[in-house]
Structure 1
Amino acid sequence: MSNYAECRADLDNYLTARVPVIGLRTIEQPRALRMVREIATQARRSNLPFWIYTRATGLRDLRSNVTVQDDRSLTGAMEFAAAQFTGRAQATLVLVDPDDLDTDTPFTRHVAELARLADANAGSIVLITDKPIWSGLQRLGMSLKLDLPDAAEMYATIDSFLSDHHGVVPIAWTQDDARKAAEFLQGVTEGEAVNLMATLVAKGSVEQDDVLALARSKDRIFSDLAGLERVQLKNDDYTIGGLSNLRDWLGRKHELMHADLRGTGLRPPRGVLLVGVPGCGKSLSAKAIASQWQLPLYRLDMASIHGMYLGESEGRMRDALETADRVAPCVLWIDEIEKGLSGGHDTNGVQQRIIGQFLFWLQESDSRAFVVATANDVRGLPPELLRKGRFDELFFVDLPDPADRKEIIELYYERYVKQRPDPDEVERLVDLSDGFAGSDIEASLHEVGAEILLRGGATVLTPSFVRDTFANTSPFSRTNPEKIEEIRAWGRERAVPAGRSAQTAATPGATGTRRVVFMGD
Structure 2
Amino acid sequence: MPTYAECRRDLDSYISARVPVICLRTIEQQRALRLVRTAAGHARRGNMPFWIYTRATGLRDLRTNTAVLDDRSLTGAMDYAASQFTSRPNATLVLVEPDGLDADTSLARHVAELARLADTNMGSVILITDSPVWGGLQRLGMSFQLDLPDADEMYATLSAFLDDHRGHIPIAWEEPDIRRAAGFLVGVTEGEAVNLMATIAAKGSVEAGDVMLLAQSKDRIFSDLTGLEKVPLKASDYAVGGLSNLRDWLDRRGRLLQADLRATDLRPPRGVLLVGVPGCGKSLSAKAIAAQWQLPLYRLDMGSIHGKYLGESEGRFREALETADRVAPCVLWIDEIEKGLAGVNDGTGVPARVIGQFLFWLQESQSRAFVVATANDVRSLPPELLRKGRFDELFFVDLPDARDREEIIGIYYRRYLRAEPAPEELARLVDLSDGFAGSDIEAALHDVGAEAYLGGGTAQMRPDFVADTFSNTVPLSRNNPEQIEEIRAWGRERAVPAGRFAATTTPGSAGQGRRIVFLDD
How far apart are 1:237 and its partner, in Å? 4.4
Match for 2:136: what amino acid?
G
1:189 aligns with 2:205: no
Q: Which residue of 2 aligns with 1:135?
A: 135
Deviates more, 1:337-346 or 1:409-418: 337-346
The answer to whether 1:211 aligns with 2:224 is no
The match for 1:268 is 268
- Paired residue for 1:42? 42
- Asked whether the 8 Å contact 2:230–2:298 carries over to 1, the reply is yes
Gaps of at least 5 residues in structure 1 are 508-521
Tell me the amino acid that sits aligned with residue 464 of structure 2.
S
Please state if 1:97 is matched with 2:97: yes
Give yes or no for contact 1:330–1:368 (8 Å, CA) kept in 2.
yes
Structure-1 residue corresponding to 2:61: 61
Root-mean-square deviation over aligned CA pairs: 1.1
Where 2:235 maps in the other structure, the secondary structure is coil
Task: Deviation per CA, 1:231-271: give whole Å up to 9, x if none.
Answer: 11123342110001000000000110111101210000000
2:338 is the counterpart of 1:338:
yes
In 1: Cα distance, 2:361 partner to 2:320 partner:
11
Secondary structure of 2:155's counterpart equals helix
Equivalent residue for 2:500? 500
SS in structure 2 of the partner of residue 331 of structure 1: strand
For the 8 Å contact 2:299–2:332, the answer to whether it is kept is yes
Secondary structure, aligned partner of 1:63: coil
CA distance in 2, matches of 1:262, 1:238: 31
Counterparts of 1:358-373 in structure 2, within 5 Å, are 358-373=358-373
TM-score (norm 1): 0.96
Partners of 2:23 and 2:387 lie apart in 1 by 41
The code of the aligned residue for 1:157 comes to: T
Q: Do 2:344 and 2:352's aligned partners in 1 also have CA atoms closer than 8 Å? A: no
Cα drift, residue 2 of structure 1? 6.7
SS in 1 for 2:47: coil
Which stretch shifts more, 234-243 or 266-275? 234-243
Residue 503 (structure 1) shift = 2.4
- 1:415 is displaced (CA, Å) by 1.2
Per-residue deviation at 1:448?
Answer: 1.1
Q: Which residue of 1 aligns with 2:516?
A: none
3-state secondary structure, aligned to 1:434: coil
Deviation at 1:411, TM superposition (A): 1.2
Alignment-derived partner of residue 395 in structure 1? 395
Alignment-mate amino acid for residue 134 of structure 2: W
> Which residue number corresponds to residue 304 of structure 1?
304
1:307-344: CA deviation from partner (whole Å, max 9, x where unpaired): 11111111111111110000000000000000001124
In the alignment, which residue of structure 2 is the partner of 1:377? 377
Q: Which residue of 2 aligns with 1:177?
A: 177
* Preserved CA contact (<8 Å) 1:344 1:380: no
Partner of 1:513: none
Contact preservation (8 Å) 1:492, 1:503: no
What pairs with 1:99-178 in structure 2 (closer than 5 Å)? 99-178=99-178
CA distance in 2, matches of 1:102, 1:399: 57
Distance (whole Å) between structure 2 residues aligned to residue 248 and residue 463 of structure 1: 37
Number of equivalenced pairs: 507
Provide the residue aligned with 1:515 in structure 2: none
Q: Compute the displacement of 1:196 (Å).
A: 0.4
Corresponding residue of 2:248: 248
C-alpha distance in 2, partners of 1:303/1:2? 34
Question: Secondary structure of the equivalent of 1:127?
Answer: strand
Say if 2:420 is the partner of 1:424. Answer: no
2:455–2:461 CA contact under 8 A, matched in 1? no
Offset at 1:139? 0.6
In 1, the alpha carbon distance for the partners of 2:308 and 2:133 equals 27
Provide the secondary structure at the position in 1 that maps to 2:483: helix
* Cα distance, 1:101 vs structure 2: 1.4
User: What percentage of residue pairs aligned between the two structures are identical?
Assistant: 75
Match of 2:515 in 1: none
SS of the residue corresponding to residue 348 of structure 1 reads coil
SS at match of 1:51: strand
* 1:236 aligned counterpart, secondary structure: helix
On the 8 A contact 2:90/2:124 being kept in 1, the answer is yes
1:120 alignment partner AA: T
Following superposition, the deviation at residue 77 of structure 1 comes to 0.7
Cα distance in 2 for partners of 1:61, 1:126 equals: 14
How far apart, in 2, do the equivalents of 1:370 and 1:399 lie? 25
Q: Is the 8 A contact 1:277 1:398 kept in 2?
A: yes
State the SS of the aligned residue for 1:427.
helix
**Is residue 314–residue 354 contact of structure 2 (8 Å, CA) maintained in 1?**
yes
Write out per-residue CA displacement over residues 332-387 of structure 1, whole angstroms, 9 at most, x where no aligned residue: 00000000011245212111111000000000000000000000011110110000
1:519 aligned partner: none
> What's the CA shift for 1:462?
4.0
Which amino acid letter does the alignment assign opposite residue 179 of structure 1?
R
Which structure 1 residue ranges, 4+ long, deviate > 4 Å from structure 2? none
1:80: which partner in 2? 80
Matching residue's letter, 2:64: S
Contact 2:109 2:137 in 1 (8 A): yes
Structure 2 residue 27 is the aligned partner of structure 1 residue 27: yes
CA contact (8 A) 2:2 2:146 kept: no
Aligned partner letter, 1:234: K
- In 1, Cα distance between equivalents of 2:506 and 2:278: 17
1:353 alignment partner AA: R
Q: Gapped runs of 5+ residues in structure 2?
A: 508-521
CA contact (8 A) 1:2 1:152 kept: no
TM-score, L = length of structure 2:
0.96
- The aligned residue for residue 281 of structure 1 is 281
Tell me the alpha carbon deviations over residues 13-40 of structure 1, each in whole angstroms, 9 at most, x when there is no partner: 0000000001100000000000000110
